[in-house]
Amino acid sequence: MDVLRLIHGYQFGTALALLFPTPYALATLVLFLWSLGPAIKRQVRTGFLVWLRLTWGLTLIPVVTGVILAVGGGKVPSAVNVGGGLTRYGLPYDPSRDWEHWMYSALCLISLYVIEVLVKGRLIRHQTGLRYLPVATLFLYGCAYMVGRVAVFPGSTPGT
């Protein structure tokens, strides 16, 4: 279980962690920046599709390990009281953060599916869909960022 926690909970420890706390958030930020090209040129190239598949992989690794940890009784660190009303990060614990972590994770999966629909031209004309690609990838980045944030920081209801 410790190996799963290590894989699932990996975070960057640098000052840049404010922009992308996890490798997944970094991948989604790069995807957002890269999506500006297809939106402007109205054409998707192979490099963008490869990065999109890599992002899917970086999504599924924490999803699978998170589900395994949850089935084993694990909760997000910000929702666990390790003593004195604090988390392992020394912040007040907040049990409501556990469901928020699940919500943002689900929104990431839904966003990736929407991006696939926009790129493939299903349900919406391909050229029109590419116009909305930066919006979808920015939303994905925001959700990926919040997945890492709610895992560490307490919300507005700490200790309740």
Strands (E), the chain: none
Distance CA 149, CA 57 (A): 20
Distance CA 27, CA 87 (A): 27
User: CB of 140 within 8 A of CB of 111?
Assistant: yes
Query: How many CA atoms lie less than 13 Å away from 87 in the CB half-sphere?
Result: 22
Domain ranges of the chain: 1-9+33-76+86-151
| Each residue's pLDDT tens digit, 93-129 | 888 888 898 999 999 999 999 999 999 888 888 888 8
78 or 53, greater pLDDT:
53
On average, the pLDDT of the chain sits at 88
Average pLDDT for 33-42 = 94
146 Cβ contact partners less than 8 Å away, ≥ 6 residues apart: 100, 104
Is the pLDDT at 159 greater than 90, yes or no? no
Is the pLDDT at 27 greater than 80, yes or no? yes
CB atoms within 10 A of CB 146: 19
| Residue corresponding to tokens 């349900």 | 123
Average pLDDT for 128-139 = 94
| Each residue's pLDDT tens digit, 71-96 | 988 888 888 888 888 888 888 888 88
Strands (E), 33-117: none
